[in-house]
Amino acid sequence: MKHGPLMFLGVLAAVLASWLVAVLAPHFQIGHEEPILIEELGINYPVDRPGEAKQGAEVYRAQGCQYCHTRQVRQEPLFADLTVTDLGTNAVETRRVVASLRRDLAGVDGRRLPEELPRPLLKHVSYAAAEAALRRLTNAGAQVELTLANLGPDIARGWGARRTVARDYLRDHPVMLGQVRFGPDLANLGARQTNEMRLYLKLYNARLELPGSTMPRYPYLFEERRLRPGQEPSPDALRGFGFEPPPGIEIVPRPEARQLVAYLLSLKADTLFYETYVPRPASAGAAAVTNGPAAAPPAPTPPPAQP
Amino acid sequence: MSLEPRSTTSSHPAPPATVPDLVPGPEPAEPRTGTAFYTPIWLVAVFGAALYWATLYVDRHGGGFNPMVFTPGELLADVEARVPRSEADVLLAKGRQVYNTYCSACHQPNGRGTPGQFPPLAGSDWVLTEGPNRIIRIVLDGMQGPITVNGVEFNNAMLPWREQLTDEDIAAVLTFIRGNKDWGNNAGPVSPAQVKVIRDATAARGTFTPWTAAELLTIPVKD
Amino acid sequence: MSSPQSPPPTAPAAAPPAPRPVRVPVEAIDRSCRWPVLVLVVLAAGWLVVAGALAVLAAIKLHAPGMLAQHAWLTYGRVQPAAWNAFVFGFASLAGLAMALWMTARLSGAPLRGGGVIILGALVWHAGLKIGLLGILAGDATGLEGLELPPYASPLLLGGYLLMAPWALLTFARRVEAEAYVSQWHLIAALLVFPWVFAAAHLATNFLPLRGVLQAAAQAWYLQNLQVLWLGFLGLAAIFYFAPKLTGNPVPSRSLALFGFWVLTIFGSLAGQVRYAGGPFPAWMSSVAAAAGVLTLFGVYAVAVNGARLGRGAAGRFRESVVLRFIALAWLVFVGAGALAALNSLLGVRQLTQFTLVTPGLDYLWTQGVAGLALLGALYYLVPRLLGQGWPVAGLARAHFYLAATGILVLAAAFLVGGLAHGAALKDPQLGFILVVKRYLPFAATGTLAHLLWLGGALLFVLNLVLALVRCFQQAARPVWQAWWTPQPTGPQPAEVKP
């Protein structure tokens, strides 16, 4: 390497290329996304947080919650199974479709098919393929059942109804995705935990509710006040869920705790839009719009149609 | 000068000069590179293969570089398949495809037809009927002879599509034609089941027996 | 400071009349480095202990959350980033700069210039880091891992850097031999990349923040470049310098080293998004990074082959040389961590390892394992050359090696194995989260032991350094002291007395 300048330029080019690919290209792709109007709900998603929750984001950041909690829900490529439950009235047509979907079934004697119902037709195929097959079969009059094979452990745990996408974080700064799950994911905390008092108690001492929890205590977010004899504790003092403050003392959340809880309650990423739709848990062919039982009856009477 | 006596040196007699690391001693020569071997050619070959693999890998997992695809391993089609749509929407999308393939040559992409030769579909009184009974038949078995569309007389022949198009295709293209808002059309969708009923009912007419306008007018537009 | 080579050659070096400048004697080069590099080393040593203590505290807090919970500034979410920043920007970066300045001068055969400015730069950096760390503990961290330094501190670091690093590049430009040595490639690349990456990432996340998740994309890019092209390359520079020097063998294949260098530069730089694989980013970002991550394996292989050949037939040297042991272990960790990182970038593997202890485990291997061990080895070598005398207690250095090595290996084993257990538990939705905690907790707790061992080693290093400096000071001061103490008429004493 006699050419010092060449090396300089090479290294600069390499790092510039990685910056272009890893940051700038995505910036041109999704850097100008705007909140999306969801007509059914009448909102612009993501919804701007109320002021107290915005301040809570600063508390979340300052306490470093993101060092133990992620805020991203993963989803694996979606697969589906397809099962025929009823061949419908036009078994010939259905068998034709079945035969085109499953070459290996083409030779099976069609008359036996109904006896083997419900018959698993496709297993672990991509959702798009299963959906297309479902459409063809229902159009042929059959009834089929589409089951999702895998939504992934995150969704199975109830950490969200769907994966998180870039649009969910449009209003966040900084974006605290988190990298390690020492604690559970919080992307949808506000959707599954709506009780303020439980969150306060969790922050005050997580081991009250879960003895084995490793979550730090945040006693400095609360204020201990001495009660004069006979004085009632203030309405927002910690109580309930098996927690009783020592006699003569009340524990009241400070403003930071209030803001943090407001923020936590605002953590929701469950609104559905184009890139996030998750199919209905199990959609049956019978429920499809076109070829339900309502449309089927006319079929068995072929002749009278010709006037 | 005041060197630590028990620093690494004494015990080992074997190497010519002991390694002076924790004490400054006679400085070893600055390191050099040798040319014991060059980058092995097999390594370069494997590296090339790995580069090729990398492109395949990105192709398989990259979602076609589409910003709407977030789960590695999926494609836009997978995302689109999950978007809930009414059955008519699906037919509409498919119908556009069918129309562009089979119909637009005569009836034109804008649905206006060709004056004197091919009747228009946009705003046509034959298309925008309450029910699709007549036009399903036209598409299935074709049309021949004089026909008056929107008060203008045409006299030409239309091919039958019974063999080429499935029930779903015909339902789709008719849904597209009847509901095409760009053309100003706004009639209800046609379902594959409706096509199927008529296909079965008219199967007895035999192939290649085009309809005439007079014949069709006897058929109610709606069941 | 009376060096043993008292006759000063006073190599001018500034005005070489010949077409090819002459290689300046090693002693003169070391003397030119002495003050700036020593200042950097002392600061780095201080940060090493601070970082170690904070890391121990954070590790304890991970499994004993009740400890010291009433102090906001000691909560896990602040101590953990403080420890990371203290290690990376306090120890690794300052020690790396010290090594880079000294090594560039040595390899270029030209004395280091800019001593005073370098010292100023070191102090500015040091002050910036101190302010930044206090800011983090006070709750001013920016919230993005690796970019925590608050906006009022990060420009100071960059400013300090710009006062220090250019002198290495200037020295490199005045090198005697046109052909640069392997370590020089890595050093120059590292020195070029760091300010750019640091500035770009801080700009993109704090000063002119990008929209939404793009901040996290910039952060992942930054962390990857910081780990591979800054810390990793500093480590590789040390490995490629000291291993041949102390074994007496040349680097076997320059061509292979060059191949590895470019592979690591190009693909190592690109693999950052692996950190957020499958996250809320368009899928192509994750898959491009995954492919690039796998390709870095070729760079790691090149380093592995060259290193293994270097060590051939030098078993005796390993037993003798503490520096070589540090370097060899750093090489081993580089090869292991590099291979694991390449494997870990595959999306299928990532589904298991993401969000688990594997992520911090690999980070620790890059920062403490590769850069930390290699730079400690480098400091053990260069400090005696600067002071002109050996380490006061060689046994401390040897003990430090064993403590650091055990610490790193324990940490790697605990976090990688624990990460797999953690990942398997997370993958099973039937397992309540408290049971997931139970699965990973023993491994996380083992991390405390590892950090304690590392801290113990760091204390030994600092003790040794302090002893060396005190002794040096004594020796330098003794003649002056004696001259002042003894009655005037006797005149100057014979210079020094052996201890």
Instruction: Give the burial class of A303: count Cβ atoms within 10 A of its Cβ; 0-12 exposed, 13-18 middle, 19 or more buried.
Output: exposed
The answer, yes or no, to whether residue C456 has pLDDT greater than 60, is yes
CA distance readout (Å), A30 to A45, C217, C270, C285: 15, 12, 19, 12
Q: Which domain holds residue A221?
A: 51-74+157-265
C25 Cβ under 8 Å from any chain B Cβ: no
Can you tell me which residue has the tokens 């390694």? B19
Task: Quote ipTM for the complex.
Answer: 0.89
Chain A environment of B196 (Cβ under 8 Å):
90, 93, 299
Taking an 8 Å cut-off on Cβ atoms, the answer to whether A174 and C209 are in contact is yes
The answer, yes or no, to whether residue C391 has pLDDT greater than 70, is yes
Taking an 8 Å cut-off on Cβ atoms, the answer to whether C291 and B39 are in contact is no
User: pLDDT exceeding 70 applies to what percent of chain C?
Assistant: 93
pLDDT confidence band for C119 (50 / 70 / 90): very high
Q: What is the DSSP string of chain A?
A: ---HHHHHHHHHHHHHHHHIIIIIHHHHHHTT--PEEETTTTEEESPPPPHHHHHHHHHHHHHTGGGT-------PPPEEEEEEEE--S-HHHHHHHHHHH-GGGTTS-GGGGGGG-SEEEEEEEEHHHHHHHHHHHHHTT-EEEEEES---HHHHTTS-SS---GGGGTT-SS----SB-SS---TTHHHH---HHHHHHHHH-GGGT-TT--PPP-GGGEEEEEPPTTPPPPTTS--BTTB-PPTTEEEEE-HHHHHHHHHHHT-------GGG----SEEEGGGSSSSSTTTSTTTT--GGG--
Cα dihedral C417, C421, C422, C427 in deg (nearest 10): 140
- Contact assessment for residue A177 and residue A72, using Cβ atoms and an 8 Å cutoff: yes
Higher pLDDT, A97 or B123: B123
| CA C150 centroid distance within chain | 22
Q: Are residues A105 and A252 in the same domain?
A: no
Higher pLDDT, B78 or A114: B78
Residue of C nearest to B38 (CA): C255
Task: Determine the Cα–Cα distance for residues B179 and C142; give it in Å rounded to an integer.
Answer: 54
Can you give the C-alpha Rg of chain B in angstroms?
Answer: 38
Enter the tokens of residue C56. Answer: 């121990």
pLDDT confidence band for B179 (50 / 70 / 90): confident
C276 Cβ under 8 Å from any chain A Cβ: yes
According to the model, what pLDDT value does residue A114 have? 52
Give the closest of A131, A274, A298 to B81, CB-based. A131
B75 Cβ under 8 Å from any chain A Cβ: yes
Q: Are residues A146 and A204 in the same domain?
A: no
Q: Strands, DSSP E only, in C337-393? A: none
Instruction: Give the burial class of B52: count Cβ atoms within 10 A of its Cβ; 0-12 exposed, 13-18 middle, 19 or more buried.
Output: exposed
Strands A36-38 and A43-45: antiparallel
CATH code, domain carrying B183: 1.10.760.10
CATH code, domain carrying A60: 1.10.760.10
Q: Are residues A234 and A169 in the same domain?
A: yes
- Contact assessment for residue B167 and residue B131, using Cβ atoms and an 8 Å cutoff: no
A33 Cβ under 8 Å from any chain C Cβ: yes
Q: What is the DSSP string of B4-33?
A: -TTSS-TT--SSSS---SSS--SPPPPP-B
Chain A environment of B218 (Cβ under 8 Å):
307
User: pLDDT exceeding 90 applies to what percent of chain C?
Assistant: 78
Q: Which of B17, B5, B37 is nearest to C245 (CA)?
A: B17
- The stretch B162-169 carries a mean pLDDT of 86
The total number of structural domains that make up chain A = 2
Using the 3D structure, point to which of A133, A150, A167 is the last residue of a domain.
A150
pLDDT confidence band for B2 (50 / 70 / 90): very low
Chain C environment of B70 (Cβ under 8 Å):
280-283
Q: Are residues A145 and A164 in the same domain?
A: no
The answer, yes or no, to whether residue C101 has pLDDT greater than 50, is yes
Read off φ and ψ for residue A234, nearest 5 degrees.
Answer: -65, 155
Give the closest of A14, A22, A64 to C221, CB-based. A22
Q: Chains meeting A at 3+ CB pairs closer than 8 A?
A: B, C
Higher pLDDT, B200 or B84: B200
Residue of B nearest to A141 (CA): B193
pLDDT confidence band for B53 (50 / 70 / 90): very high
Beta bridge partners of B33: C251
Cα dihedral B117, B118, B124, B129 in deg (nearest 10): 120
The answer, yes or no, to whether residue C493 has pLDDT greater than 70, is no
Interface test with C, best of B18, B30, B47, B56 (most C CBs within 10 A): B30
Q: Which domain holds residue B177?
A: 87-217
The answer, yes or no, to whether residue B4 has pLDDT greater than 60, is no
- Contact assessment for residue B69 and residue B147, using Cβ atoms and an 8 Å cutoff: no
Using the 3D structure, point to which of A150, A181, A208 is the last residue of a domain.
A150
According to the model, what pLDDT value does residue C17 have? 45
CB count within 10 Å of CB C368 equals 28
According to the model, what pLDDT value does residue C20 have? 58
Residue B52 lies in a domain: no
Using the 3D structure, point to which of A127, A150, A173 is the last residue of a domain.
A150
According to the model, what pLDDT value does residue B7 have? 35
- Among B162-176, C296-310, C480-494, name the one with the lowest average pLDDT: C480-494
Which residues, in sequence order, are CB contacts of B101 under 8 Å at separation 6+? Answer: none
Task: Determine the Cα–Cα distance for residues C230 and C227; give it in Å rounded to an integer.
Answer: 6
Q: Of chain A residues 112-131, which have a CB less than 8 A from chain C?
A: none
3-state secondary structure of C355: strand
Taking an 8 Å cut-off on Cβ atoms, the answer to whether C181 and B15 are in contact is no
Residue of C nearest to A276 (CA): C280
| CA C221 centroid distance within chain | 19
CA distance readout (Å), C300 to B57, B197, C28, C332: 21, 68, 36, 11
According to the model, what pLDDT value does residue B210 have? 86
C190 Cβ under 8 Å from any chain B Cβ: no
Enter the tokens of residue A51. Answer: 């002021």
Indicate the average pLDDT of chain C.
90
- Among A154-163, B169-178, B214-223, C164-173, name the one with the lowest average pLDDT: B214-223
Task: Determine the Cα–Cα distance for residues B64 and B73; give it in Å rounded to an integer.
Answer: 10
Can you tell me which residue has the tokens 């309405």? A235
Q: A277: distance to nearest CA of chain B, Å?
A: 6
Can you give the C-alpha Rg of chain A in angstroms?
Answer: 29
Taking an 8 Å cut-off on Cβ atoms, the answer to whether B72 and C277 are in contact is yes
- Contact assessment for residue C227 and residue C198, using Cβ atoms and an 8 Å cutoff: no
CATH code, domain carrying A135: 3.30.1390.10
Taking an 8 Å cut-off on Cβ atoms, the answer to whether A169 and C193 are in contact is no
Residue B56 lies in a domain: no
Taking an 8 Å cut-off on Cβ atoms, the answer to whether C241 and B65 are in contact is no
Beta bridge partners of A144: A84
Give the closest of B192, B200, B219 to A139, CB-based. B192
Residue of A nearest to B61 (CA): A77
Q: Which of C143, C164, C19 is nearest to C100 (CA)?
A: C164
- Count of CB contacts below 8 A, A vs C? 225
pLDDT confidence band for C9 (50 / 70 / 90): very low
Give the closest of B15, B61, B71 to C317, CB-based. B15
The answer, yes or no, to whether residue B177 has pLDDT greater than 70, is yes
The answer, yes or no, to whether residue B175 has pLDDT greater than 60, is yes
Specify which of B5-9, C333-337, C384-388 reaches the highest per-range mean pLDDT: C333-337
Chain C environment of B18 (Cβ under 8 Å):
320
The answer, yes or no, to whether residue C281 has pLDDT greater than 60, is yes
Q: C122: distance to nearest CA of chain B, Å?
A: 25
Q: Are residues A251 and A231 in the same domain?
A: yes
Full pLDDT tens readout for chain A, 307 residues: 556 788 889 999 999 999 999 999 999 999 888 888 887 788 888 889 999 999 999 999 999 999 999 999 998 888 888 888 777 777 777 777 777 777 766 665 555 555 566 677 888 888 888 888 888 888 777 778 888 777 888 988 889 888 999 999 999 989 999 999 999 999 999 988 888 999 999 999 988 888 889 999 999 999 998 888 888 888 888 988 888 888 888 999 999 999 999 999 999 998 888 888 887 644 333 333 222 233 333 333 333 333 3
Taking an 8 Å cut-off on Cβ atoms, the answer to whether C77 and A63 are in contact is yes
Q: Are residues A162 and A137 in the same domain?
A: no
pLDDT confidence band for B19 (50 / 70 / 90): low
User: DSSP secondary-structure letter at C266?
Assistant: H
Give the closest of C282, C426, C437 to A30, CB-based. C282
Task: Determine the Cα–Cα distance for residues A299 and B3; give it in Å rounded to an integer.
Answer: 105
According to the model, what pLDDT value does residue B16 have? 40
CATH of domain C26-477: 1.20.210.10
Q: Are residues A222 and A236 in the same domain?
A: yes
Instruction: Give the containing element (helix H, strand E) for B78.
Output: helix B76-82
Residue A306 lies in a domain: no
According to the model, what pLDDT value does residue C313 have? 79
Q: Chains meeting B at 3+ CB pairs closer than 8 A?
A: A, C
Residue of B nearest to A278 (CA): B82
- Contact assessment for residue C136 and residue C82, using Cβ atoms and an 8 Å cutoff: yes
Can you give the C-alpha Rg of chain C in angstroms?
Answer: 23
Residue B55 lies in a domain: no
- The stretch B184-200 carries a mean pLDDT of 87
The answer, yes or no, to whether residue C413 has pLDDT greater than 90, is yes
According to the model, what pLDDT value does residue C314 have? 80
3-state secondary structure of B35: strand
Q: How many residues does chain A have?
A: 307
Residue B20 lies in a domain: no
